[in-house]
């Protein structure tokens, strides 16, 4: 996560309580469902939609986040020809204020993450052939498909505010862990594990972002 992105996230975290204090508490209607997006995923050719379900009338929520990815090689982050992917993230979200009818204020959240990527790239494929009664192996340059599987989990803290009793703005930061493997090696090829943003990254990492959405 670069310095510019971290500064933007910090600014949103500082701005959120100001917006929360400035708005008037005009409605005590109980909010039980929210739908939103996490716009920073588009930088990496992804889309994340968040579906928030209130688990009780107090402060516990379940966040279900389907993930979709597509890159035809033009985003500039990698050298592969094409990538498509999907995944899901689940979070148990707990607001620190127990009796607020609206999903706002400070919270903690944790849960698992799974991603699957199908990557097409150029590589060498081995072919066995016979010549004069002997077997030989020939390497040919061809299109190679690699499947990457990534498991992990996140623990985050955040601050969510409701604007005009309808829209929400949520900024969060925390830590996570990832474990990746592919279907071509015994683990994960170094080509896909060079840093946090790589498809097959394994290790601990910082996570953070901003969510925008509507609360019902």
**Residue 84 and residue 118 in contact, taking contact as beta carbons nearer than 8 Å:** yes
Phi, psi of 116 (to 5 degrees): -130, 130
Phi, psi of 173 (to 5 degrees): -155, 150
Percent of the residues in the chain that have a pLDDT greater than 70, as a whole number? 81
Weakest-pLDDT range from 23-27, 55-59, 158-162: 23-27
Instruction: Report the alpha-carbon distance of residue 63 to residue 138 in Å, rounded.
Output: 50
pTM value is 0.80
59 falls in which pLDDT band (50, 70, 90)? very high
Weakest-pLDDT range from 1-5, 7-11, 152-156: 1-5
Average pLDDT over residues 73-84: 79
Weakest-pLDDT range from 70-79, 120-129, 150-159: 120-129
pLDDT recorded at residue 127: 64
* Region of 159 on the Ramachandran plot (φ > 0 left; ψ -120 to 50 alpha; else beta): beta
pLDDT recorded at residue 4: 46
Question: Given a cut of 50, is residue 5 above it in pLDDT?
Answer: no
pLDDT recorded at residue 133: 77
pLDDT recorded at residue 27: 52
pLDDT in tens, 175-190: 999 999 998 877 677 7
Domain-wise residue ranges, the chain: 3-15+31-118+145-215
Percent of the residues in the chain that have a pLDDT greater than 90, as a whole number? 54
Indicate the helix (H) or strand (E) that contains 213. Answer: strand 203-215
- Burial class of residue 85, CB neighbours in 10 A (0-12, 13-18, 19+): buried
CATH topology of domain 3-15+31-118+145-215: Porin (2.40.160)
Average pLDDT over residues 63-91: 89
């Amino acid at each position: 996560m670069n310095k510019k992105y971290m500064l933007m996230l910090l600014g949103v975290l500082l701005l959120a309580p100001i917006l929360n204090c400035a708005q008037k508490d005009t409605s005590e209607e109980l909010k039980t469902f929210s739908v939103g997006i996490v716009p920073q995923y588009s930088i990496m050719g992804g889309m994340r939609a968040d579906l928030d379900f209130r688990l009780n009338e107090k402060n516990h929520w379940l966040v279900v986040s389907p993930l979709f990815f597509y890159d035809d090689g033009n985003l500039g982050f990698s050298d592969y020809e094409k990538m498509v992917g999907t995944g899901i993230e689940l979070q148990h979200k707990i607001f620190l204020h127990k009796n607020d009818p609206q999903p706002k204020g400070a919270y903690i959240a944790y849960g698992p993450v799974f991603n699957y990527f199908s990557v097409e790239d150029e590589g060498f494929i081995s072919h066995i052939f016979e010549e004069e009664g002997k077997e030989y192996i020939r390497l040919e340059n061809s299109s190679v498909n690699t499947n990457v599987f990534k498991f992990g989990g996140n623990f985050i803290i955040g601050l969510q505010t409701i604007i005009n009793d309808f829209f929400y703005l949520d900024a969060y930061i925390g830590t996570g862990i990832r474990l990746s493997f592919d279907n071509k090696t015994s683990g994960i090829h170094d080509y896909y594990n060079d840093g946090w943003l790589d498809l097959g990254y394994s290790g601990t990492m910082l996570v953070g972002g901003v969510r925008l959405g509507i609360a019902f």
